[in-house]
Structure 1
Amino acid sequence: MQNITESLHQLASVIIQNLYNTQQNNTLNTNILRWCLLIFFISQFSFAQDSIVLDASVSEKKMLKFEEFFFEAITEKAINNYQKAIDYLEECNTILPNNKAVLFELSKNYYYLNKTPEALIYGEEALSQEKDNLWILEHIVAIHKKNRNFPDAIKTQKIIAKKFPKKKRALVFLHLQNNDRQSAIRLLDELAEAKMLDSRLRAIKRSMFPMAKTRKLEAITQNTKKENLKTLFKKNKSFQVLTKLLDSLDKENDASLLIYSEQGLSLFPAQPIVYLMNGKALNKNKQFKKAVESLQNGIDFVIDDKALTNRFYNELIKAYQGLGDSKNVNKYQKKRK
């Protein structure tokens, strides 16, 4: 039941956003938007069906007002008006305090506003009412990741993995982001024994070769020309050869940067430099939306490297400029400073 509700929720969210972006005085789209919001509203209440009950202390009139405010909050969140959504949710909280669905929605809206302390407080309050709720647990992991608090993200993800073993895969990436290579390797071995490695994790496992081999390959590739690097990369698919090749292609503005960076993503999905080069290549090809996605995925793997982080910010600024998104351009310009 939870999976069906979640799918309905996600489908309605996508439709709402697309219709909102294109409605522009179109009566038909406006009506469709209202119906989709109704579906969205139902999916929200399916999640919260055990939370929202008509208590004897709450009059029917107040309960209808609660539902109206909650519906408005969902509507505003769907069109990215997160502060307005919070205002409506606070009205809900006044009528029916400490409702799980309201607390969860408050947490999500604060998260979207990058107000993570408030997001965490409301998320934990919602979780206290249902300790094993997957949606809330995964949301709390996302908050910790946004705060770059990987130890707490790992603790919460372990709780998820106990009930949903396949979710243990996400711990590999969290260990790598926490700069704990040994824990990642141990977990990869454990997942391999359980035959739970997907293609991305198998690629990560292959990429963790001994340092001696790394030094040898560095010596081989020193001062090697671009074409020789391409040949060498075809033979051994090493990360060291790839980084030199990508750097060479980037400096020479070579169109094949996109091809080799995409190969790198499949071979070395935990290496931030590959995502950076892929984002650069996509920006050069004016594929700005894909560039944002790749850069956002890669920046999570950057550990205590301000120079590399700023290189990601520079490319994100270019991508958002290409999309005409001044809000995010300003956001990353401030982060860069």
Structure 2
Amino acid sequence: MNIRILFSGLTLSGLLLCPVITQAQQQEPDEIVLAQNEFEDNFYEAIKQKGIENYDKALQALQACIAINPNEPAIYNEVGINQLALKNFPEAEKAFLKATQLDPENRWYWQGLYDVYYAVQDWNKAITIVQKLTKWRKEFYEEDLVSLYMYTSQYDKAIALIDALDASVGESHKREMYKAQIMQNERYSKPKKEVLEAAIKKNPKEESNYLELIYLYSESNQEEKAEEVAKKLEKEIPDSDWAQVSLFKFHLNNNEGDKASKSLFRVLESNKIDRKIKHRAFNEFLIFVNNNPQFNDDLATAADYFEDDEFVNVPKEVGKFFFSKNDYTRAIAYFKKSLANNSDDIEAIELLLYAYNGSNQNEVLLKEAENYLDLYPTHARLYYLAGLACNNLGTFKKAKDWLEMGIDFVVEDTELEAGFNTELGRAYEGLGDTKQKESYFGKAERLLKSKKTR
């Protein structure tokens, strides 16, 4: 039943034609039916064998189909697919070419040929095929065509197509990278710069010309020129938020933290600037503050702009930054902000508790760990942190109880298991049980050694 359904679908989709229609006048009806059944049986066998990756057997069945009807393009397409899977590229090319000759209006036959040329990196032949494929999905295949022009160093064609796609479907990161690569060549960037400079003189209120010129100068490492253009943009169009994006980077490069902060706040307040650009600017400022801690307050103010961000938990990331600098007070404040937005974030919970430990707030650490254990009673690290806090507070019996309860929940985490054993060793040491202390310390040491040798 299923076999007939399959063949019915294939026939309706145009993949199978009557294999012996041209011979109907010379053959008896029974012979025609037998040949057709043999054709379908072999085709089904080929599909089945291909599905289980027996490509050689699939090809044998397809050859039987060709013997019955040598003019069916779908069969040659299947031959091409199987030959390509076997990496028999010349044979695959030959089969797909035959299919396209028999039915030049079938997109998938050309796609198969493109797959062959792409696999063997014959970019010039691939270009010819992709140009044909644009007939069916123009913008989709033009994206591939840009890459092929880049591979063959046909930069004139590449830049023209990039500009056309930018205008029709919008910019993309990949095309932006290609454009930057092309513009590193003075042959392309110099005339473009001259055109843009002339355009700015003619119409100093057109913002887009400044932005493109800044981009060109930046990509060719002419940062001073780019900064001049950004300042000119700010002077001519004082309310230009995009000028601040460029000036922000220049101020950072010049170590002008105060000016960089002002530009950053303008960027973050803007409704015109994309969220991704805002995140990028914020991250750059975060790196700057790493070496210039006097701007920590500005960083904190900037982070507040992202409190309602649905995509990136900025307070948590800032908390991680301060945590890495052992600034636990600031880290705690940001982890709390993060948890106010997402109370179920177990990573933020753990980081908050470790920050309490880092700032020696052991009573708060114990209280918070106990509270979170009510919500997450099988989370091993919470038991560990509760036991750690108790050890630090000198309540060794309570530490032992927490640690012994929690160690059973450790799953495939050698470092955490070693931590449990270390803290149990500390607890037993506090309780005066030297034998147990040595046992747990020894186990912790063995676990850490086993981790290093993995």
TM-score (norm 2): 0.37
Structure whose CA Rg is larger: 2
If asked which structure has higher relative contact order (CA below 8 Å, sep 6+), I would say 1
TM-score by length of 1: 0.49
